[in-house]
Structure 1
Amino acid sequence: MDHMRRDALAGGALALSLATAGCLDFAAGDGPQGPEGTPATLTCDEDGFVRLDQPFEASVVGTPVETDETELELSTEGTTETYGQSLRVVLRNAGDAPAPTLGESAYSVQRETEAGWLDVRGGTGGEAVELPRSEDSVAVSSAYSWDLTLTEAGIADAVDGVDLTVCPPLGPGPYRFVYWGLVGAPPVGVEFELVG
């Protein structure tokens, strides 16, 4: 009797693991469907789509970056990221004073094109959308952290209270995450390659 029960449990566990694997494959989809490499520009056929403007003019710098008061570091876990996986980005205050910011939503997710770096997000209401800004700060030895799922919906839904979409679909190629909300410092960015 115990032997039959063990066989049934083992069979159920195998069926569950196969079903779960199938769900993971389905959830990942067929990979990135957008243009590959470095396209000439990003075009969107969706009615009413208006791409987010680049809210900064200064050149994007790497880390560490210094403000008037302190020093910060922006980092990711890797430089090659797979479509459908999570991109973890951390902005850490490594200095001796709080770092004033414009809040956690003051960032861009950009794709490299021949026309320059362009945000992959925009609004569909026919008008320009602005990301929320608020007076905030990153305390000493503290951090902002983002976990962005690298899908169109995952990136579009990452900012609460703002109706965004990603258009065209993400494609394999070079991207960067830019935090432009540091007060008294240039925008800071990290680049990564998106693969299928």
Structure 2
Amino acid sequence: MIDITRRLALRGIAAGGAAAIAGCAGGDGNGDGDGTDSDGGDSRKPIERTVQRVGAPLSGPAWDRRSRRGFCTLIEAERDANWLFEDAPEETRAFVSETDFERAVVVYVESVGPTTCHSEISFDDVAVDGGTLTASARVEDTSAVDEGCGQAITYPAAMVRIESDPRPESVRLQVTNGWGETGTVRDADGVMDPDALPGDIRPGGEPNAIPASFDCPTEGFERHPQVYEGAVNWGGGAGLDGGDGNDTDGDDGSDADGSGAGGTDGAPGPLALRVVTPDGPLSRGDSFRIELTNVSDRPTHVGNQGKYNLELRTEGGWTEIRGTDGEGLFGYTDEALGVDPGETLTWEFEMTESGLTASGPHADDLRVCPDLVPGRYRFVFWGGDDLAVAFDYVG
């Protein structure tokens, strides 16, 4: 079964209103180092800011509050906000649409608090320094004297419109949550922490078995082609738009000889790929799933979910395990599938010959030949940046 799971559950509190503050940046007026530009001028430029409270956290929130103090994203054009503001209140969408993006940007910020009275985010020390917007953001307890507050995890959110010349190109905030914990939050951090995702990228060490080959005894059997070329990106990378990879030296993504030793998992990019299995190697009949998550703060696109290879590592290299007894016509459509920040695409399999070919555009034509053998298998999604994960099978 091919499934799409959007891990977005709106939680939050009601808040609203906007405040405009014009003037110079806060703080001590100095930038990094000696506090001056190369020409001797002040590196912090005069800016104008307008704050808009947001009634509920728009990211989900998809980020992990145990490892991060909050989330922020830089909106440089109205189209950048489509994924975030799809279900937002009208006043929130209007705040973005009324922004003159020729002169300004909008920064969206979320954090977290322990009670229903932690309902707003305040901003201070706002500056644009070397193309980076810097500020402190704090979750405020808005309760009045003797007001009772409900004990609940809340996620206050706010937007701040920044008008400056030049416009900021990135964001770095010091965010203090409702427990008084402070940490640095950047727009480049994305929505989700890849290290917090369930599942694994590939087993460590060598597999217990490496078969000499995986030859099908059926005359005329034609294997599904390995559509990607050369190296793969273990555990992460880009979508159809391209991006950085992490494998340049071998067909298994780590060593030129395909040994699987060494290498770096988790390529830079918006997409994170994981294999979620029961504890330990797979046995026959075990169910497992592959999950592809957009961990960035921008939508990305991939090809249709049938664009993958299933392979076994043999002494001769990685071998596709599926094929057809027919004419071997493996056509795929070229549509682009949008994946919003925090959204996960899922493939589900059973570790049997039929369970590995039960889904996909060619499910009726493909079969595994010969029967499965113990060893190390991998899934390569070439509908993106040739993303790969691996898992062991003990039979």
| TM-score for the superposition, normalised by structure 2 | 0.38
Are residue 171 (structure 1) and residue 373 (structure 2) matched?
Answer: yes
Are residue 190 (structure 1) and residue 389 (structure 2) matched?
Answer: yes
| Structure 1 contact 176–189 (Cα < 8 Å) conserved | yes
**Counterpart in 2 of 1:63?**
235
Are residue 74 (structure 1) and residue 276 (structure 2) matched?
Answer: no
| Structure 1 contact 105–133 (Cα < 8 Å) conserved | no
Instruction: Report % sequence identity.
Output: 32
Higher RCO, 1 or 2 (CA under 8 Å, sep at least 6)?
A: 1
Give the CA deviation at 1:92: 0.4
- The number of equivalent residue pairs is 157
- What do residues 8-41 of structure 1 show as CA deviations (whole Å, max 9, x unaligned)? xxxxxxxxxxxxxxxxxxxxxxxxxxxx921222
Change (3 A) 1:50 1:161: closer
Are residue 133 (structure 1) and residue 133 (structure 2) matched?
Answer: no
- CA–CA distance in structure 2, aligned partners of residues 181 and 152 of structure 1: 23
| Structure 2 contact 376–390 (Cα < 8 Å) conserved | yes
- CA–CA distance in structure 2, aligned partners of residues 158 and 63 of structure 1: 22
**Alignment partner of 1:45: what SS?**
coil
Give the CA deviation at 1:160: 4.1
Give the superposed CA RMSD.
2.0
> Which structure shows the bigger proportion of residues in helix conformation?
1
| Structure 1 contact 106–133 (Cα < 8 Å) conserved | no
- What do residues 87-119 of structure 1 show as CA deviations (whole Å, max 9, x unaligned)? 211000111222221111111110001111011
Q: Which runs of 5+ in 2 are unaligned?
A: 1-207, 244-268
Q: Which amino acid aligns with 1:96?
A: D
**Alignment partner of 1:130: what SS?**
coil
Are residue 181 (structure 1) and residue 380 (structure 2) matched?
Answer: no
Give the CA deviation at 1:131: 5.2
| TM-score for the superposition, normalised by structure 1 | 0.73
Change (3 A) 1:98 1:131: farther
**Counterpart in 2 of 1:144?**
345
**Alignment partner of 1:155: what SS?**
coil
Change (3 A) 1:129 1:189: same
**Counterpart in 1 of 2:215?**
43
- CA–CA distance in structure 1, aligned partners of residues 281 and 290 of structure 2: 13
Alignment of 1:78-89 (within 5 A): 78=277, 80-89=281-290
Give the CA deviation at 1:195: 1.3
Q: Which runs of 5+ in 1 are unaligned?
A: 1-35
**Deviating runs (4+, > 3 A) in structure 1?**
66-70
| Structure 1 contact 106–131 (Cα < 8 Å) conserved | no
The farther-off stretch of 113-122 and 59-68 is 59-68
| Structure 2 contact 305–360 (Cα < 8 Å) conserved | no
| Structure 1 contact 103–137 (Cα < 8 Å) conserved | no
Compare CA radii of gyration and give the structure with the larger one. 2
| Structure 2 contact 210–375 (Cα < 8 Å) conserved | yes
Give the CA deviation at 1:82: 1.6
